Amino acid sequence: MTERAGAGSGLGLGLGLGHDVVGFARALRDAGLPIGVAETEAFAQAVGWIDPLVRREVYLAARATLVRRREDLVVFDELFAKFFGGPSRGQPAPLAPRHDPQRVLRTALVSYMAERAEASAREVDVPEHEKAASAHELLQRKDFADCTPAELDAIARAMRELRLDLTLRRSRRRIRSRRGDRLDLPRIVRDAARRGGAVLALARRRLKLRRRPLVVLADISGSMEFYARILLQFLHGVTQRHARTETFVFGTRLTRITGQLQIRRVDAALGHAAREFADFAGGTRIGECLHAFDRQHARRVLGRGAVVLIISDGWDTGDPARLTAAMRRLARRAHRIVWLNPLLGRAGYAPEVRGMAAALPHIDDFLPVHDLRSLHELAERLARIPRRKWAVDRSGARSRGRAIVPAPSGLAAAPAGEVGSASEASNRSEHRGEP
Amino acid sequence: MSERPPGPRAPASTAGAPPRSTSPASSAELEARAASPPALAAALASRGYIVDDALAMTAFLALRMQRPLFFEGAPGVGKTLLASVLAEVFETRLIRLSCYEGLDLAQAAYEWNYPRQLLALQAHQRQPDAAGGAAEAVDGADSELGELYRDAFLMRRPLLQAIDASAERAPVLLIDEIDRADEEFESFLLELLGEFQITIPELGTLRARHRPIVVLTSNRTRDVHDALKRRCLYHWIDYPGFATELEIVRRKVPALAEQLRRRVVAFVQRLRREDLSKLPGVAETVDWAEALAHVAGLAGAPAGGPGGALDPATVDATLGLLLKYHDDIERVRGAFAAELLAESA
């Protein structure tokens, strides 16, 4: 069946087509599609089976061999039209943000990146070694919003040591174990064969334990500006250490940045991430964004008992009913929802913001994230999430063992006035078992 | 998206659907069915599976390049069905492996028959005892080990069956819902999908004589590893357009009046533009059409007659066949359904 390729080269297309194949594959690679030599080869091979003079056939063959994710189709179509000329099929696809130089990026993170680019020339060393203990201690409790860039750098360095150990869940896979609940027959037979047929010990297997996946939804809108910078660095660290992390950021729109955060160098990673963001100058529409998450990503990333981390101050310009509905669906799918609110560390803050109030009934843990200390506490909390979603108390009622009340340290600096009292009152019935 | 002119190859190919015969097709006939994308599409269509040109091309190339097919798409768009229709087209066996978390080699590829092995061991042990030498038994352990792991004790599971060298024709291997299996299983599949062979440590490497036609499906409840996708030709199966879906319903539910059929498909197509937790797939459309065919008063209606109407009350009563989430049903039922119905008329 190779005569078709032969016919192609007979028409003088052989060499040109070869160039096209390689060139097009390269163009796709430059646009960020995961294309290697194997894919290019497959495409070249496929061209041998089709009529290279029919544009549609070349298009379909290229698509079958070069595209491996549905999301890449848009970029692929665009580039195919550009590369092989002719009209683009259907309506012109919207440009991915990274291909649109016109777009003005006004996010907290972008301004941070600009700042960072200048600062990198002369990095100031914070006296972190000399006056060690006291300075370090101070930094632990300093609100991120009040930190100078140099202090933020120091915090970022300190954060690198922070580990998030997520709780485990039982997977369905079995591994060898001395005290397993099932016999390991393959092993027993093998051992017996080695010992002349005598079964001397019973090897066992048990279910393997796995870390739960972590899904992060971070608010990077204007009101979160001071926190977004440092929190994204934190998320970069988490992604690097914990392989099963999916990260999304939102403002008026939801963007997945998991891929960008997987880049090893933090500055490069955040730089790439910043390029993905759309314009967030508008308000925050948490409800819309969580809804988009539910429709587009939840099915894929919330399997296997994921823990969801939402980082936001709860300022929502959207419809609160929308947010409530989205939170309800999220709560049903996720193993646990942890909401981190930097304002919770402030004196006199009560979660009365419309959005926050709408979301609160569906949250399992409501914690502050405003200083280094609170991040350590988050790590501790995540390691202690109960293995079961529902705890059954003595009266037989189901509860999720929630901790809606701010952690003690969040209150330490604040007068014990009305901080958290609103939530405390409304959730006292559900709250139990806080150590 | 597929108004494609027959193309320059049409005369050379067997574009016309081959008449369906009950007698087994010759190998030349089977070959002809995979001669070109249109020929393959026609062969699939003659067995009730309608494909667009993009899917026909991907499947054609997979057959020609002997690569596995990887189908992703929403549930109910016919990913699994395509595998069984492919088996019909090429008149071969369909070997199906349904994936789940924790699926391992023992259930997917092969397993040793441990009870029989143990029995064999015991039997073997007794003989030297009679001769009076336990030390002898230990000496003989090596040869025993060899005897224990032989073909007679091997239990073949789907993956091993698929590369069985004694089969005269390549089977279709369906690895269904791979996204439900875990990463450990994926990495095991790499050897099979790359080289079409399975290595059993005790026996050696078993290789397929005829490469099976492999179809993997995924509902995308998680991302499948790139290394696995790289070995396959990927295709995202979308919901079909109006004409295609109408044709599918026509073939699957011939009892339904044509006018009603159009209303059904139009309604479902309209419903898919709504923001729902779970959009109805083609399987749901067919189920719904079938249900409506059973509803008294609708089934007997003459085509084109006034009985071909679909009223909101009937839609409400049968909505559970289309939508499987309570939230969705609540949202659509009643006024909204009536509105959609009027819109899609």
Above 70 in pLDDT, residue B15? no
Whether residue B144 and residue A196 make contact (CB cut-off 8 A), yes or no, is: yes
A346 has pLDDT over 50? yes
Work out the mean pLDDT of chain B and round it to a whole number: 82
- pLDDT band, residue A98 (cuts 50/70/90): very low
- Residues A355-373: what's their mean pLDDT? 84
- Judged by a CB distance cut-off of 8 A, whether residue B16 touches chain A is no
Q: To the nearest whole angstrom, how far is the Cα of A229 from the nearest Cα of chain B? A: 29
pLDDT of A22 reads: 87
Mention every residue, 6+ apart, whose C-beta is less than 8 A from residue A231: A144, A218, A311, A369
Q: State pLDDT tens for residues A174-201.
A: 888 888 888 888 888 888 877 777 777 8
Could you tell me the maximum CA-CA distance found in chain A, to the nearest angstrom? 86
Distance from CA of A57 to the nearest CA of B (A): 8
Q: Is the pLDDT of residue A209 over 70?
A: yes
Closest residue of chain B to A190, computed from CA coordinates: B145
Q: What is residue B43's predicted lDDT score, i.e. its pLDDT?
A: 95
Q: Tell me which of A1, A35, A60 to substitute to probe the interface with B (most B C-beta atoms closer than 10 Å).
A: A60
Q: Contact B101/A68, CB-based, under 8 Å?
A: no
| Residues whose CB falls within 8 Å of the CB of residue A173, separated by 6 or more in sequence, listed in order | A207, A208, B101, B102, B104, B182, B184
Closest by CA to A185, choosing from A199, A172, A196, A195, is A199
pLDDT averaged over every residue in chain A: 72
Q: Dig out the tokens for A394 from the structure.
A: 């003595």
pTM, whole model, 2 decimals? 0.70
What one-character DSSP code corresponds to residue A307?
Answer: E
Res B137: pLDDT: 46
Chain B residues whose CB is inside 8 A of the A189 CB are 112, 114, 117-118, 121, 148
pLDDT of B91 > 50? The answer is: yes
Return the residue of A nearest to B118 by Cα.
A189
Instruction: Judge whether residue A422 has pLDDT over 70.
Output: no
Residue B127 is predicted with a pLDDT of 65
Cβ–Cβ contact B202 with A under 8 A: no
Give the pLDDT confidence score for residue A391 in this predicted structure.
56
A129 — pLDDT class (breaks 50, 70, 90): very low
Q: Is the pLDDT of residue A112 over 90?
A: no
The DSSP secondary-structure symbol of B320 reads G
Q: Is A50 on the interface with B (CB under 8 A)?
A: yes
The first and second tokens of residue A274, run together, are 């910043």
Candidate from A128-142, B17-31, B192-206, B228-242 with smallest mean pLDDT: A128-142
Least confident of A4-8, A117-121, B39-43: A4-8
- A173 CB near a chain B CB, below 8 Å? yes
B247 touches chain A (CB under 8 A): no
Do A188 and B114 lie within an 8 Å CB cutoff?
Answer: yes
pLDDT value of residue A401? 58
User: In this model, does residue B128 exceed pLDDT 50?
Assistant: yes
What residue of B is the nearest CA neighbor of A34? B226
CA distances from A84 to A19, A46, A79, A121, B8 (A): 12, 17, 8, 44, 20
- ipTM of the modeled complex: 0.71
SS3 per residue for A138-192: HHHHCCHHHCCHHHHHHHHHHHCCCCCCCCEEEEEEEEECCCCCEECHHHHHHHH
Res B131 pLDDT > 70: no
Chain A hits for B37, Cβ within 8 Å: 57, 60
The mean pLDDT of B74-96, rounded to a whole number, is 93
- The answer to whether residue B20 neighbours chain A at the CB level (below 8 Å) is no
Nearest to A338 by CA among A359, A314, A375, A364: A364
pLDDT value of position A430 = 40
Q: What is residue A106's predicted lDDT score, i.e. its pLDDT?
A: 36
Residue B255 and residue A403: Cα distance in Å, rounded? 58
B188 Cβ under 8 Å from any chain A Cβ:
no
- Asked if residue B12 has pLDDT above 90, the reply is no
- Tell me if B233 and A50 make a contact (CB, 8 A cut-off): no
Q: Is the pLDDT of residue B234 over 80?
A: yes
CA A298 to mean position of chain CA atoms: 12
Nearest to B156, CA basis, from B99, B110, B115, B205: B110
Tell me, yes or no, if B4 comes closer than 8 A to chain A by beta carbon. Answer: yes
State the Cα–Cα distance between residues A124 and A119, nearest whole angstrom. 8
DSSP 8-state code for residue A367: E
Range of weakest confidence among A66-75, A132-141, A233-242, A265-274:
A132-141
Higher pLDDT, A348 or B252: B252
Q: List, in sequence order, every residue forming a beta bridge with B236; answer none if it has no partner.
A: B72
Q: In chain B, count H helices and then E strands.
A: 17, 9
Higher-confidence position of A113 and B74: B74
